[in-house]
Amino acid sequence: MRSYSRIIVIGGGIVGVSTLYHLAREGEEVLLLERLALTSGATWHAAGNVHTMSPYRSLSELQAYSLRLYDGLDEEIGQKVGSHVVGGFFLAQTKKRMEEFKYLAGKFRSMGLEYDLVSPSEIKSKFPLFFLFPIRVKPFPS
């Protein structure tokens, strides 16, 4: 095992591994130092949860880039990485939050990202199990 390198990445979480990957792809020799096991620190709690919903355009673009990268990684490295996009729902429980979602929907669409505003009946048709869980949703005040 090498014990020296011009470039050393400390931490094998999502940021460290991503930095290592991108530097190695550019032909750099990089050494990764991780205290325990890969993704055993702060990254473990995400457990594959990658989304593109951020109020910051640059962060949304970075997250979208990550999704595209993961989608083609199997072929690039010749090993299955288990990437599987399933989608998700964010619930607006206030008018203010719904207005924010409408704004974000326009922004995300301009970036080429899929983002739909859906009604409860559309959610039920796409994911009927969602309504098995007790959620208190009040209609928006008029």
Is residue 13, in this structure, part of any structural domain at all?
A: yes
Q: Is the pLDDT of residue 100 over 70?
A: yes
Of all residues in the chain, what percent carry a pLDDT higher than 90? 11
Terminal CA-CA length for the chain:
66
> Are the C-beta atoms of 131 and 82 separated by less than 8 Å?
no
Query: Which tokens belong to 84?
Result: 């599987």
Higher pLDDT, 88 or 43: 88
Q: How many domains does the chain have?
A: 1
pLDDT tens digits along 46-74? 666 777 777 788 887 887 888 788 888 88
Entry pTM: 0.61
Query: Which tokens belong to 131?
Result: 């309504």
Is residue 110, in this structure, part of any structural domain at all?
A: no
Which structural domain range is residue 32 located in? 1-47
Is residue 54, in this structure, part of any structural domain at all?
A: no
Is residue 140, in this structure, part of any structural domain at all?
A: no
Alpha carbon separation from 35 to 22, 43, 49, 101 (Å, rounded): 21, 13, 23, 40
In angstroms, rounded to a whole number, what is the distance separating the alpha carbons of residues 75 and 77?
A: 6
Is residue 81, in this structure, part of any structural domain at all?
A: no
Is residue 33, in this structure, part of any structural domain at all?
A: yes
Higher pLDDT, 38 or 33: 33
Is residue 3, in this structure, part of any structural domain at all?
A: yes
Is residue 40, in this structure, part of any structural domain at all?
A: yes
